[in-house]
Amino acid sequence: MNRILWSLFIRIFIILSILNEIRANENTLSNDALYRQRCSGMYFKNDIPGGGSDSIITVKYDKKSNTDVAVIVYEWPDNENFGYPVDSGANKIYICDQNAIAANYCPQSQLGGFIVTSNKTSSIVTHVFNTTKSGQSFTYTINRTGYYCVAALPSPITDQRFLVTVDWKNPYGELPALDYPKLPFYGALSLVYLLIGIIWMVLSIIHRHDLLPVQHYLSGVILFIIIEMAFNWGYWVNYNAYGDSSTFLLCLVAVLNAGRNSISFFMLLIVCMGYGVVKPSLGSTMTKCRVLTLAHFVFGVVYAAGTLLIDPDTASPLVFLVIFPLALTMTTFYVWTLQSITNTLQTLEIRRQTVKALMYKRLYRLLVFSVSVLGIFFLINTFNYVHREDPDWIPGNWQRTWFLLDGWLNILYLIVFCELTQEDDFDTERNSSRLSQSPIYEQEKYGGDRGETERLHDDDDGSVVFDIGDEHDEKSTLRESGEISNASREMLSSNEEETNNYQDVSTTD
């Protein structure tokens, strides 16, 4: 079965890699009412680090056109400065013909082209393509960063077919201006994670004899994130170099992103359960965590494939089937993680383990902070979604859209990840060894509430929704595996010895 799935996976990627790629930074205008205007953000060369060549918009007339074509290029604020309003402003006449000249809507000099009603603007440029000429084109040079549009209409207004190609060329390469900030952004993130990985590797080598199990997991997570970010950045570099969105790289990045999200949820969950710091093992609960992680990864890949292949406007039931499984596993992660850290904090506070309790309180505050940020940006994006039909919204926010949709999530992830690694830092003498070897059943000097302590040890009383790890499973799993680290072995022995001492003191009292 695994061989069949792997073979199918390979074949899908081979097919995707040879699919025709789309020229994403080029548009076609035609006599279809939906395709008579195209707009895009454009950067002035001085606003790009390193400068480069001029930003230009190239408009080409297709020789298959059957009519003359009037073209206008303008920056968005000038959209009210062309066309003559009629019917009390309800409609506009855009093409200057003999009737428009007779009605004094436009001068003779604009015959055949767009009617420009204001002389104050400097961004509007008009041009007329003639069927009697071939190979016609003209270029528009960008002198200011802004949101520019190209519109085309047959001249005179007829139902004749025409085609005009618009090529948007920015100084940095072929990437659409809307996505350009992602190029330096993911490049910077790749370097940051690489630096984190190098520091982590050096410290791991120095303290290799004192590593906790959870730190081994974190090492794997860091390596995975470095690879994922490198491919993410590589996708945008490739896009910028060739002007094509590689379907293969896009799918690969989507799969890696699903993997990053899954292992990140997994790491957060087991840390909140106290793995490696409070408990040497989670026993059978670890298997449940891995199963949930695998399910979340599979559903994440399905979701990524669905967003690429399914049109949400025509397949709403399918979209629901794609989203629901991922939402279910994500909700399970959230609930389980919050319950685990709450139980761990309660246990540590009752057992007077103040150092560990402070560490987990800091982690709890981090979770609250991240959820708060998620809520704030959810409200912001909801507001943006409500105003998406406003014609001025995209022209006014095109340079920030990438951050609202993608950038802030990666920054929040970096903050949470760095803080999570801080929870498992390498100050070995003061943290790893002391935290791993300190007794789980630490109480006040003369004991504590034994009944409460024993109640907290009982994971099978049916009072919790999710099992956070059974103590018996922890010990038996460690002993049967025969692969216990020094820190885990010392933690287990210390726990048993301290438990016996605690029981002797309580009995004497």
Q: Which residues pair with 293 in a beta bridge?
A: none
Cα 494 to chain centroid distance, Å, stands at 44
Q: Token pair of 268, please?
A: 């957060």
Tell me what pLDDT residue 319 has: 62
Direct distance between the N- and C-terminal alpha carbons of the chain, in angstroms, rounded to an integer: 61
Every domain of the chain and the residues it spans: 26-169, 177-437
How would residue 457 be classed by pLDDT, with cut points 50, 70 and 90? very low
Are the CB atoms for 402 and 181 separated by under 8 Å? yes
pTM of the model: 0.71
26-169: in CATH 2.60.120:
yes
What's the CATH code, domain 177-437? 1.20.1070
**Residues 6+ positions from 33 with CB-CB distance below 8 Å:** none
The listed range with the strongest mean pLDDT (26-35, 72-81, 355-364, 398-407) is 72-81
| Predicted confidence (pLDDT) per residue in 18-52, tens digit | 333 334 577 888 877 677 888 888 998 888 887 67
| Predicted confidence (pLDDT) per residue in 302-352, tens digit | 887 766 665 544 445 666 677 778 888 888 888 888 888 888 888 888 877
How would residue 119 be classed by pLDDT, with cut points 50, 70 and 90? low
How many angstroms separate the CA atoms of 447 and 439, rounded? Answer: 13
